[in-house]
Amino acid sequence: MMKVLLINGSPHKEGCTYTALTEIANELKKHDVDSEIFWIGTGQIRGCTGCRVCKKNPGKCIFDDDICNELIKKCEEVDGMVIGSPVYFAGINGGLSAILDRVFYAGGINFENKPGAGVVSCRRAGASASFDRLNKYFTYNKMPVVPSQYWNVVHGNTPEEVKQDIEGLQIMRTLAKNMAWLLKSLKDEPTPEYEEKTFTNFIR
Ligand SMILES: Cc1cc2nc3c(=O)[nH]c(=O)nc-3n(C[C@H](O)[C@H](O)[C@H](O)COP(=O)(O)O)c2cc1C
């Protein structure tokens, strides 16, 4: 069975972001797609130091003292991923930003062609900027971005409030339907033959 990793980037294990991800998990199940919620927790997470050791050893961050390498492995094993974040000061949560920079810098090359989607939860404002930030990780890494019927946002300060966001929850279900559809459509499709990647620091 195909599987989607649902990353809960909130320090709240079962808060608003979790509520949105659970709606996605339940809908995926209806379409015979398995899922797992991975909570980033409240422990210390380093930011990327830019040492670039991972460029010589792709798929692994040199710092093995937090969840980074565990999360890279999880992302490698699944067929698609959804990354959920609460909105903090109109951006994604700092801990999530720190871990995603490292997960995608070290491991992104191994996630190519896996469909991905971002989801954000906010009380009032800053949702679309945070949503844009999450999408950057996918579009950098040749990952098809799964659409919904609107931008992937739920509103609420508590899970109970999120459950009252009828439109937000429908957006989550539509996203899950599209994720299942895309996964099945792409299943036996050969991936494009890409050119060797050029990397120039200047435009001329
Ligand atoms: C440090 C901090 C900053 C926040 N900044 C915003 C914000 O800029 N805009 C907003 O609408 N909500 C903001 N919130 C509220 C959360 O985004 C909102 O309650 C979210 O749904 C919580 O999700 P969670 O239960 O999964 O952690 C902030 C909360 C915290 C703790």
pLDDT confidence tier of residue 57, bands split at 50, 70 and 90: very high
Asked whether residue 60 is assigned to any structural domain, the reply reads: yes
Count the domains in the chain: 1
Asked whether residue 23 is assigned to any structural domain, the reply reads: yes
Asked whether residue 197 is assigned to any structural domain, the reply reads: no
Query: Is the alpha carbon torsion for 134, 83, 159, 25 positive or negative?
Result: positive
51 lines ligand 1 (CB under 6 A): no
Asked whether residue 203 is assigned to any structural domain, the reply reads: no
- Structural domain boundaries enclosing 88: 3-186
**40 C-alpha to center of ligand 1: Å?**
16
**CATH number for the domain harbouring residue 144:** 3.40.50.360
156 lines ligand 1 (CB under 6 A): yes
Asked whether residue 146 is assigned to any structural domain, the reply reads: yes
DSSP assignment of 46-90, as one string?
Answer: PPP----GGGTSTT--S--SSSHHHHHHHHHHSSEEEEEEEEETT
- The whole-number pLDDT of residue 111 equals 98
Tell me the per-residue pLDDT of 22-49, one tens digit each, with 9 for 90 and over: 999 999 999 999 999 999 999 999 999 9
**20 C-alpha to center of ligand 1: Å?**
14
Helix axes 94-107, 68-77, angle to 10 degrees: 60
**155 C-alpha to center of ligand 1: Å?**
10
Asked whether residue 131 is assigned to any structural domain, the reply reads: yes
- List residues bridging with 83 in a β-sheet: 7, 118
Atom of ligand 1 nearest to the CA of 124: 11
Atom of ligand 1 nearest to the CA of 90: 8
Q: What is the pTM of this model?
A: 0.98
130 lines ligand 1 (CB under 6 A): no
Asked whether residue 193 is assigned to any structural domain, the reply reads: no
